[in-house]
Amino acid sequence: MEFRKLSDLELKDKKVLVRLDLNVPLDNGKITDDTRIQATIPTLKYLLTHTKKIAMMSHLGRPDGEVMPEFSLEPIGERLAELLDLEVVFVKDYTTEPAEHVLNQLGKNQIILYENLRFHAGETKNDPQFARQLAQGFDCYVNDAFGTLHRAHASVVAAAEFFPANKRAAGLLVEREIEVLSGLQKKPSAPFTVIMGGSKVSDKISVLLNLMQSANYLLIGGAMAYTFLKYQGVEVGDSRVELDKLDMVAAIYKNAEARKVEILLPEDHVAAEKFSKDAVAVELNTKTIPKGLMGLDIGRKTAKRYADIIALSKTVLWNGPMGVFEFDQFARGSLRIAEAMADCNGFTVIGGGDSVAAANKAKVADRIDHISTGGGASLEFLEGTMLPGIKVLLK
C-alpha cells in the first residue's frame, strides 16, 4: 500500500492543517487518560521543526452537532501546551473567520487548536461546505488520527480532498499503524498466533477469515467462545450464545481446516449464576458448563495453555478480552494473557480498548511492541478493508 508520509511533504513555511485523535476520557473537565494526546506528540514535533503555522483539529465524544461545554477541547489544549511547551491558541469559531487571519497572527511559540469538530453537524455528514471551511487557507493536510480513518467524516475525507494529492499525508502514528497492521496480514514471522475475545462472533468474523491467511493458531476467549463451543456440541449452560451465527463458526472451521490453522477453545471456565459486579465466581474444571451458570472468563488451565502457545510464537495479535474484564473476579484470564504477551520474545500487538486496559492493569503495556490506537479502525483494517481516511492519502 503506497501512501504519502510526512517525509513526502514540502513543509517549509507552509500552513498545515492536522487531524488528530484527541478523544480522551474526561471526568468533570479533568483528563483521566492522556494516552491519545501523548501519541500525537511525535507528529506535532516533526511539524514544528519544519513550519510554525499549524492548526490542530479533533473530535471529542458525541455532541451530535450541538455545542456542549462538557465536550470542549479546552482541557486538551492545556495538556498539549504542557507537553509541547508552547502556547496553544484555542479557536472556537473557525468556520466564519478566515484561517489566514489567525495563522498570520501566530507567534513563534504558538500553535492553534480548533474547538470540537463534532459541535458542527457537517463533520459527521462529511459535508463539503464544512470541509471547505476547514481546509481554506492551508497549504498541506496531515491526518494522524488512526482511530477515525474508518469514518467518512468531513475532517477525514472531504477536507483532505480540497488539497492537491501531493499536499496530503499520514502522520507518524498513522504510518506506524499501517506498517504494523499490514505486516500482520502479509508475511508475519511464524508461528503467528491470533487471540480473539469479546462478546460477538459477528463482530470478528471478517477479521478472523482474513487473518487465517497468515495465522498458525487461533485462541478464542470471551463470550464468543461459547458460540464456538455450542457449535461443537458442548453444553454451555446459560452462557451467551449467538445461535444465529453458528453458520459463521462453521465457515471459520472450514477455512481453518483448509489453511491448517489450529483453533483452541476454553477447556475450563470461571462461571457465575448472574452477570453482575457482585456475582460469586465459580471455577469449573470441565469444558462443559451446567445449566444455571454462565461462563464469564477462561479458567486457569486454559489461560496456561494459551500462555504456553504465546511463549512459542514469533508474532502475536490480541483483540478482545478473555472474560468480563470490568469485574475483578472475571479479569484473571485477560491479565494472564497480557502477562504472557509481555513475556513473549516475539513481536506482540494489542488492539481493542479492553485488551489495552488489561495490559495497563497488569502493568505490562510498556513491554508490548505495538498497542493500536484504532479500536474500530483497527478491526476494519484487519478485515482487509480500504479505510476512507487512508484512501485519500494514497499515492
Catalytic residue ranges: 36, 200, 353, 376
CATH 3.10.100.10 for domain 180-382, yes or no, is no
Asked if residue 100 has pLDDT above 80, the reply is no
What is the Rg, in whole angstroms, of the alpha carbon atoms belonging to the chain?
Answer: 23
CA distances for 20 relative to 46, 146, 213, 268, 319, angstroms: 14, 8, 32, 43, 23
Q: Which residues pair with 347 in a beta bridge?
A: 315
Query: How many C-beta atoms surround the C-beta of residue 189 within 10 A?
Result: 11
Q: How far apart are CA 58 and CA 113, in angstroms?
A: 9
Tell me whether domains 6-173 and 180-382 share a fold: yes
Q: How far apart are CA 221 and CA 299, in angstroms?
A: 10
* Cβ contact 90:115 at 8 Å: yes
- Could you state, in order of their start, the residue ranges of all structural domains in the chain? 6-173, 180-382
Q: Which CATH architecture has domain 6-173?
A: 3-Layer(aba) Sandwich (3.40)
CA 313: distance to chain centroid?
Answer: 23
Q: Over the stretch 284-326, which tens digit does the pLDDT of each residue have? A: 999 999 999 999 999 999 999 999 999 999 999 999 999 999 9
Mean pLDDT of 202-228: 95
Residue 290 confidence (pLDDT)? 98
Give the residue among 357, 342, 353, 340 at the shortest CA–CA distance from 379: 353
Location of C-alpha cell 482474513:
210
For the chain, what is the total number of helices (H) and then of strands (E)? Answer: 14, 17
* Cβ contact 363:166 at 8 Å: no
Q: Which residues contact 365 (CB under 8 A, 6 or more apart)?
A: 356, 359, 371
Asked if residue 231 has pLDDT above 80, the reply is yes
pTM: 0.91
Q: How far apart are CA 86 and CA 262, in angstroms?
A: 52
